[in-house]
Amino acid sequence: MDKEDFIKRIVVGPLAVNCYLIGCGKTGEAAVIDPGDDADEIAAAVRDAGVRPLYIINTHGHPDHVSANADLKNEFGLEIVAHGLDSTLMQSGSDLLSLMGVRVIPSPPPDVTLEHGDTFWVGDIRLEVIHTPGHTEGGVCLYWREGRILFTGDTLFAGGIGRTDFPGGSMRELERSIREKLYSLPDDTVVLPGHGENSTIGSEKSGNAFVRM
């Protein structure tokens, strides 16, 4: 019998970023989403899970989400996957975030660049790429339709939204991204954000004070 597909959350770094390990039960292939810090802890989780990691997927290029890219790429030979519009950002780091205590380790460039509407496979798990600019220009959400899961990075949180005061941010764009591209998904879609607790599209549509339906 096949093992189950799984998602494991590892909370990393001083800003408590949710790094996710997503694994396909059938093929044993896996990806690490947003390894922002604590590479050793993430590597241990990968080994514990007994999976074959192939990719790092970054929801966006801020250092709190990419600073363990280099170490994990070296250790496991992973390909880095991100939207091309955040390529410069992820390789350059951000002084603002280093002031906030974030360890800023520039990422290698992406090996694979994503576009809105792309499909990305982790084993038999199909992730749809939703480009959601606003927090950064190249921010993406990853939608696992069959699993009813949406990885939202710093675009949408439980009861909150991402900051738009960093370079490349835009409140108008962020609102449009959330309203048109995320709130149109089924209400029972589980939101797995880049910081904080899980939510659902339905509860954000009815209760998020920042972006109303």
Q: Hey, which residues between 148 and 187 contact Zn ion (CB under 5 A)?
A: 154
Q: Is 37 helix (H, G, I), strand (E, B) or coil?
A: coil
CA pair distance 100, 19, nearest whole angstrom: 19
Q: Which residue blocks in 26-68 are alpha helix, DSSP H?
A: 39-49, 63-66
CA distances from 208 to 7, 95, 134, 163, 188 (A): 25, 30, 17, 15, 15
Q: Please give the DSSP secondary-structure letter assigned to residue 205.
A: H
Binding mask 103-142 for Zn ion (x = CB under 5 A): ----------------------------------------
Give least dist CB 193 to Zn ion, A. 9
Give least dist CB 164 to Zn ion, A. 10
| 34 touches Zn ion (CB under 5 A) | no
Binding residue for Zn ion, selected from 62, 73, 83, 205, defined by CB under 5 A: 62
Binding residue for Zn ion, selected from 34, 64, 137, 204, defined by CB under 5 A: 64
Token match 């990719």: residue? 55
User: Smallest Cα–Cα separation from 191: which of 154, 147, 140, 157?
Assistant: 157
Give least dist CB 55 to Zn ion, A. 20
Stretch that binds Zn ion, among 27-35, 50-58, 70-78, 190-198 (CB under 5 A): 190-198
The Cα angle at residue 183 between residues 117 and 90, in degrees rounded to 5: 50
Give least dist CB 203 to Zn ion, A. 21
Please count the helices (runs of H) and the strands (runs of E) in the chain: 7, 14
Q: State which residue, 91 or 121, has the beta carbon closest to Zn ion.
A: 91
Distance of alpha carbon 73 from the chain centroid:
16
Give least dist CB 188 to Zn ion, A. 25
Q: State which residue, 123 or 168, has the beta carbon closest to Zn ion.
A: 168
Give least dist CB 200 to Zn ion, A. 21
Judge whether 4 and 22 are in contact, CB under 8 Å: no
Stretch that binds Zn ion, among 24-32, 74-82, 176-184, 192-200 (CB under 5 A): 192-200
| 37 touches Zn ion (CB under 5 A) | no
Which residues bind to Zn ion, rule: CB under 5 A? 62, 64, 154, 194
